[in-house]
Structure 1
C-alpha cells in the first residue's frame, strides 16, 4: 500500500514539513557518499544513538568524573542528529512517504513552530526510552521512525475518519483506492518488516538490530495520540 494524500484541506503551506523532508534526503545522500568512500560506518557509529555509549558516559559523569559531562552533552546530541539518519533505501522512502502524507496536515493543525518542536521532541523522547530500555546495546539506533509514528498517532486522534488516497501495486498494475486513516496504524508496523531492503553497508554490526526499535514505534504512536488529546 502506498499512501499518496489525504482528504483534509490545509490552510497554509507545510513549510516545516518540506524542510524536514529535504533535510532527511540531503543527509541520506551524504550517507551514500560516505558509503562509497568507506567512511559511513565511522560516521554512523559516531553520530547514531548508541545506548551503551550514552549510558556509560552518564554513569562516568555522575560517579567518577564530573568533567565527563562534556562528553555526555556531545553524546546526547546524537539523540537529535540520529533522527535524520537512515540505514536503508526502504527506511528513508517509507518514512518520508508517511511524513509527506500525514505530516503536512498535523503541521496545519499545530502551526509551524509547534510542529517542529513536536517532531524533534518526539524523536528525542523515543531515543531516551530506547536507552533506558536497553542501556547496554552497542548497535546504533537511527531513523525518524519514532517521530513519524508520533505524527501518525496525532493524526489518527484528530482525524479518525479521514480517508487516505492510496495506490495498490499489483505486479505491473497500480490500482488507486481509498483507505481509512486507521488502516495505516497497522500498515506502519507492517512496513517496518521491509526496512532491511536496500540496506547501506554500515560496519561493523549494522544498525537498528534490537526489539527496542519496535517498542519505540508503539510509544511514538502513544506520544502523538496523547499530545493531541491534551491539546484538545
Structure 2
C-alpha cells in the first residue's frame, strides 16, 4: 500500500513539514557521499544514538564525577536530535518521507508551525530515550525518524479516525488506485518496517538499528503522539 494523500483540507501551507522532508533528503545524500568515501561508518557511529555509550557517559558523569564524561553526555544528547535525520537505507527514508508527506502536513495544520516542529523533535527524542532505557548496553547505532513519524501517525489517527487515504496498491506491474480508512495504516506502518533493510547503506562495523529495540521505540512514539493530540483537545 502506497499512501498518496488524504481527504482532510489544510488551510495553511505545511512549511515545517516541507523543510523536514528537505533536510532528511539532504542529510541522506550526504550519507551517500560519505559511503562513497568510506567514512559513513565513522560518521554514523559518532552521531547515531548508541545506548551503551550514553549510559556509560551518564554513569561516569553523575556517579564518578568525571568532568570529561559531561562533554560526552552533551555530545550524545545532541545525537538524540541529529540521529532523527539519519537513515540506514533507501527503503527506510522513502517509507518515512512518504508517511511524513501524507500525514505530517495535516498534523502541522492543526498544531501550527512552531508546535509541530516541537512535537516532531520531542517525539524523536522520546523514542531515543526509550530505546536507551530498553537496552542500555546496546552498541549498535540507532538512527532514523521512525519514532517521530509514528507519533505523527498516532496523532493523525486520534484526530481523524474516519479519514480516507488515497492509496495505490501495486500488484506486480498493475497499479490500482483505491481509498482506504486511515486506521489501516497503523498496521501497515509496522509491517513495512520489515522491508527497511532493502537498499541498505554500508555502515561498518556492525550496521544500525536492532529491530526489537526500534520496534518498541516506535510503539512509544505512536502512543505518545495519540496521547498528545488527545490532551490538546
Q: What TM-score bracket applies, with the shorter chain setting the length?
A: over 0.9
Aligned counterpart, 2:27: 27
Aligned counterpart, 1:3: 3
- Deviation, 1:58, is 0.3
- Deviation, 1:166, is 0.2
CA distance in 1, matches of 2:87, 2:136: 21
CA distance in 2, matches of 1:104, 1:185: 17
Runs (5+) with no aligned partner, structure 2: none
Aligned counterpart, 2:216: 215
Aligned counterpart, 1:104: 105
- Deviation, 1:212, is 1.1
CA distance in 1, matches of 2:104, 2:168: 19
CA distance in 1, matches of 2:211, 2:169: 30
- Deviation, 1:121, is 0.3
With 17-26 and 56-65 compared, the bigger mean Cα shift is at: 56-65
Show structure 1 runs of 4+ deviating over 3 A. Answer: none
- Deviation, 1:137, is 0.1
Deviations 1:7-61 (A, max 9, x none): 0000010000000000000000000000001000000000000000000000000
Aligned counterpart, 1:188: 189
- Deviation, 1:70, is 1.8
- Deviation, 1:173, is 1.0
Aligned counterpart, 1:160: 161
Aligned counterpart, 2:40: 40
CA distance in 2, matches of 1:124, 1:190: 23
CA distance in 2, matches of 1:11, 1:39: 44
CA distance in 2, matches of 1:45, 1:94: 23
| Matching of residue 129 in structure 1 with residue 121 in structure 2 | no
- Deviation, 1:65, is 3.0
Runs (5+) with no aligned partner, structure 1: none
Aligned counterpart, 1:14: 14
Structure 2 SS opposite 1:52: helix
CA distance in 1, matches of 2:160, 2:131: 29
Structure 1 SS opposite 2:176: strand
Aligned counterpart, 1:70: 71
CA distance in 2, matches of 1:18, 1:170: 30
CA distance in 2, matches of 1:216, 1:43: 23
Aligned counterpart, 2:179: 178
CA distance in 2, matches of 1:229, 1:40: 40
CA distance in 2, matches of 1:170, 1:135: 42
- Deviation, 1:210, is 3.9
TM-score after normalising by structure 1: 0.99
Aligned counterpart, 1:93: 94
Deviations 1:70-121 (A, max 9, x none): 2211111100000000000000000000000000000000000000000000
- Deviation, 1:217, is 1.1
With 62-71 and 95-104 compared, the bigger mean Cα shift is at: 62-71
Give the RMSD, CA atoms, in angstroms: 0.6
